[in-house]
Structure 1
């Protein structure tokens, strides 16, 4: 039987977490681009280097309502909540 312990290890979870954060950052870039919202190099870098998937999730929710890219990084309160 194969040793599958890696798949439940902290390192494995960290890799998955970073992958989720990266995918959410890419989704935000697609969403903002589709909505015609300007994306600066600084914003692009912040989104593509984030490794916290929960933070990236919050940003993605904010991006749905944002009128500027900077609004997604604002206060912790989500629009409409």
Structure 2
């Protein structure tokens, strides 16, 4: 039977690496969750306003990982008459 040295996982270096990774992973998870929630709100608002959402537009909204951009789309979705108007730059 072969034994494996697991001492690294109990070492100070390992504990320090885990302590650093937790906040980074937590913040990343929060940002992803926020983007997902905002995307759901955009889609919901458009649907409630009777706007047809193409598969391409749905994919664009749900795959976006920038909460600020999605928040802008949410603002636009309130008064949008088409899904394409979300993605238009203000003139």
> Whose relative contact order is higher, 1 or 2, with alpha carbons under 8 Å and at least 6 apart?
1
Runs (5+) with no aligned partner, structure 2: 1-17
Structure with bigger gyration radius = 2
Runs (5+) with no aligned partner, structure 1: none
**Distance in 2, Cα, partners of 1:26 & 1:4:** 32
With the length of structure 1 as denominator, give the TM-score of the two structures: 0.79
Runs of 4+ deviating beyond 3 Å: none
Paired residues, number: 72
Pick the structure with more helix per residue: 2
With the length of structure 2 as denominator, give the TM-score of the two structures: 0.71
